[in-house]
């Protein structure tokens, strides 16, 4: 009974937290385009986005689901998911996979209103803090190459840093440094002091990068007990260390060691013609996308196909050794591991809210559950939704859709 209760809780957590986004009031788009199983968002025939299904011995399925019934009712479930996206006014792309028998892809809203281009499988989005898991993986690759250790203290890389002997690379990875967040909204953030520090859209990435790094390393810390405190500053420093150790730019190192080997051809730090236009009606963080600002903490652009390649690789043996994966995926404090969180069910997840974009990823180690969502509308973020949008109603609807398929 306890095992079943935990399974039910996991299902609810994945469904509720993953798909419960609501959209903007002033939009007239009213239909979701869907790509269940073997059709893309335009209705054209295509291959599955995921690899060929593994055998039951290779990938155990979640015993809480009746997968036979789930597969039989795919069309019905797909229609209900579509209706949920439309009813909640979600704008973006959603992917949901359960076992080997259910795969949903939904797109809704405009990628660009001016050209009347709709979000689709080819739409690229800023993925914000999902960048951090790539930064963490890059650190693990360098550790496997014996070029650094997560036990290294920062004085090895910044000899004049006054807290250099107190902070390790592992502290950066687990956000236990006590450093303030340079992307935060307090009076002590670079955001607040951007004019003073001359962070500019006209500056080079190198110049803005130097300003931010100098600010971060000048700040006082509060980590007597190594408590967890979410800070983009930690992952900004990691990007700089990757450059120092590898002799390459952070972007070049990721391209050569992750993106190219995994054929992630749409993942980049540069704007592309497939990048969705961001829309918002809450606040404007345009300075976040100035050259060199987002960097290794929040700077990546990607799409659904590439992130599916990523989840396959990071949970398989293609990218990291078993030892490195164990270190990267072991939660430290506040369930935070290296670049992502681990929930009570053992799923890995991360949320992102960056500039005018939002993203979420949830995936199980055995790939029996994968959820990915992107949005190019600020108010599609569940944490920034007005009460009248009623995100709880969206969660409830998704729970109701899944309930008949629980054993």
DSSP codes joined into one string, 158-173: -TT-TTTTT-BHHHHH
Shared domain check, 269 and 134:
yes
CB contact burial 138-150 (16+ within 10 A = b; e otherwise): bbbbbbeeeebeb
Query: What does the pLDDT read at residue 61?
Result: 39
Shared domain check, 350 and 221:
no
CA–CA separation, 141 vs 139, rounded Å?
A: 5
Shared domain check, 46 and 170:
no
Query: What does the pLDDT read at residue 200?
Result: 66
Are 152 and 145 within 8 A, CB to CB?
no
Q: Is residue 309 part of a domain?
A: no
Shared domain check, 162 and 82:
no
* Alpha helices for 20-88 (secondary structure H): 67-72, 74-87
How buried is residue 394: exposed, middle or buried, by Cβ count under 10 Å (0-12/13-18/19+)? Answer: buried
Residue 394 has pLDDT above 50, yes or no: no
Beta bridge partners of 98: 102, 369
Q: Is residue 37 part of a domain?
A: yes
User: E strands along 150-269, which residues?
Assistant: none
Q: Is residue 120 part of a domain?
A: yes
Shared domain check, 14 and 81:
yes
Q: Is residue 383 part of a domain?
A: yes
Residue 16 has pLDDT above 80, yes or no: no
Shared domain check, 265 and 141:
yes
Shared domain check, 135 and 121:
no
Residue 389 has pLDDT above 90, yes or no: no
CA–CA separation, 19 vs 90, rounded Å?
A: 9
**Token couple for 216:** 């971060």
Query: Domain with 205 in it: what CATH number?
Result: 3.40.710.10
CA–CA separation, 199 vs 204, rounded Å?
A: 10
**Nearest residue to 173 (alpha-carbon basis) of 394, 391, 352, 341:** 341
Residue 2 has pLDDT above 50, yes or no: no
- HSE-CB for 101 with a 13 A CA cutoff: 16
Q: Is residue 249 part of a domain?
A: yes
In this predicted model, which residue has the larger pLDDT, 132 or 18? 132
**Nearest residue to 380 (alpha-carbon basis) of 286, 299, 282, 284:** 282
Query: What does the pLDDT read at residue 282?
Result: 53
Q: Is residue 329 part of a domain?
A: no
DSSP secondary structure of 266-284: T-BSS--TTBPPPB-SS--
Residue 168 has pLDDT above 90, yes or no: yes
Residue 55 has pLDDT above 50, yes or no: no
**Nearest residue to 133 (alpha-carbon basis) of 330, 321, 350:** 350
Which range marks the domain in which residue 44 is found? 2-127+343-405
Edge-to-edge strand list for the sheet holding 357-363: 32-34, 102-108, 92-98, 369-375, 357-363, 348-354, 341-342
pTM: 0.82
CA–CA separation, 400 vs 404, rounded Å?
A: 8
Are 178 and 221 within 8 A, CB to CB?
yes
Query: What does the pLDDT read at residue 226?
Result: 76
Mean pLDDT within 124-145: 96
In this predicted model, which residue has the larger pLDDT, 94 or 62? 94
In this predicted model, which residue has the larger pLDDT, 278 or 37? 278
Angle between helices 232-246 and 205-217 (to 10 degrees): 120
Give the containing element (helix H, strand E) for 105.
strand 102-108
Query: What does the pLDDT read at residue 1?
Result: 34
pLDDT in tens, 256-296: 999 999 999 999 988 888 999 888 755 556 666 666 677 88
Query: What does the pLDDT read at residue 191?
Result: 64
Task: Please give the tally of structural domains in the chain.
Answer: 2
Shared domain check, 116 and 68:
yes
pLDDT in tens, 221-245: 986 667 899 999 999 999 999 999 9
Mean pLDDT within 93-100: 88
Q: Which residues, 6 or more positions from 375, have their beta carbon under 8 angstroms from its beta carbon?
A: 21, 23, 90, 91, 92, 125, 357, 358, 359, 381
Shared domain check, 262 and 229:
yes
**Of the candidate ranges 42-46, 201-205, 377-381, the one whose mean pLDDT is the lowest:** 42-46
Q: Is residue 16 part of a domain?
A: yes
> In this structure, what are the phi and psi dihedrals at residue 335, rounded to the nearest 5 degrees?
65, 15
Q: Is residue 369 part of a domain?
A: yes
The CA angle 124-130-16, to the nearest 5 degrees, is 95
Residue 297 has pLDDT above 60, yes or no: yes
Shared domain check, 248 and 164:
yes
> What are the CA-CA distances from residue 378 to residues 33, 155, 295 (Å)?
20, 39, 21
Shared domain check, 136 and 101:
no
Shared domain check, 134 and 120:
no
In this predicted model, which residue has the larger pLDDT, 282 or 405? 405
Q: Which residues, 6 or more positions from 168, have their beta carbon under 8 angstroms from its beta carbon?
A: 150, 151, 152, 153, 154
């Amino acid at each position: 009974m306890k095992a079943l209760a935990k399974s039910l809780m996991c299902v609810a957590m994945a469904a509720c937290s993953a798909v419960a986004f609501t959209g903007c009031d002033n939009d007239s788009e009213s239909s979701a385009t869907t790509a269940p199983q073997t059709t893309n968002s335009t209705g054209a025939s295509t291959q599955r986005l995921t690899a060929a299904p593994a055998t039951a011995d290779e990938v155990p399925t979640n015993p809480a689901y009746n997968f036979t019934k789930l597969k039989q009712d795919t069309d019905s479930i797909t229609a209900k998911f579509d209706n949920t996206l439309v009813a909640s006014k979600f704008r973006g792309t959603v992917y949901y996979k359960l076992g080997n028998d259910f795969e949903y892809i939904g797109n809704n809203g405009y990628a660009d209103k001016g050209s009347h281009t709709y979000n689709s499988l080819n739409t690229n989005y800023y993925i914000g803090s999902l960048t951090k898991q790539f930064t963490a993986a890059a650190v693990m690759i360098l550790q496997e190459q014996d070029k650094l250790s997560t036990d290294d203290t920062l004085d090895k890389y910044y000899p004049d840093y006054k807290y250099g002997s107190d902070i390790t690379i592992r502290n950066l990875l687990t956000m236990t440094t006590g450093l303030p967040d340079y992307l935060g909204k307090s009076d002590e953030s670079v955001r607040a002091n951007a004019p003073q520090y001359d962070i500019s859209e006209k500056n080079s990435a190198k110049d803005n990068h130097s300003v931010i790094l100098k600010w971060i390393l000048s700040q006082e810390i509060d980590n007597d007990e190594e408590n967890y405190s979410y800070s983009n500053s930690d992952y900004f420093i990691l990007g700089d260390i990757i450059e120092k150790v590898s002799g390459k730019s952070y972007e070049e190192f990721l391209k050569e060691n992750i993106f190219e080997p995994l054929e992630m051809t749409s993942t980049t730090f540069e704007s592309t013609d497939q990048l969705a236009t961001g829309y918002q009606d809450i606040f404007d963080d345009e300075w976040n996308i100035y050259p060199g600002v987002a960097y290794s903490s929040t700077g990546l652009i990607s799409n659904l196909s590439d992130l599916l390649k990523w989840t396959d690789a990071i949970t398989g043996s293609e990218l990291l050794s078993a030892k490195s994966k164990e270190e990267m995926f072991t939660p430290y404090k506040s369930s935070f591991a290296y670049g992502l969180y681990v929930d009570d069910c053992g799923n890995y997840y991360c949320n992102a809210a960056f500039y005018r974009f939002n993203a979420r990823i949830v995936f199980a180690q055995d790939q029996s559950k994968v959820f990915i969502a992107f949005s190019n509308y600020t108010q599609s973020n569940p944490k920034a939704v007005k009460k009248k949008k009623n995100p709880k109603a969206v969660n409830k609807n998704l729970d109701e859709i899944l309930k008949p398929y629980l054993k």
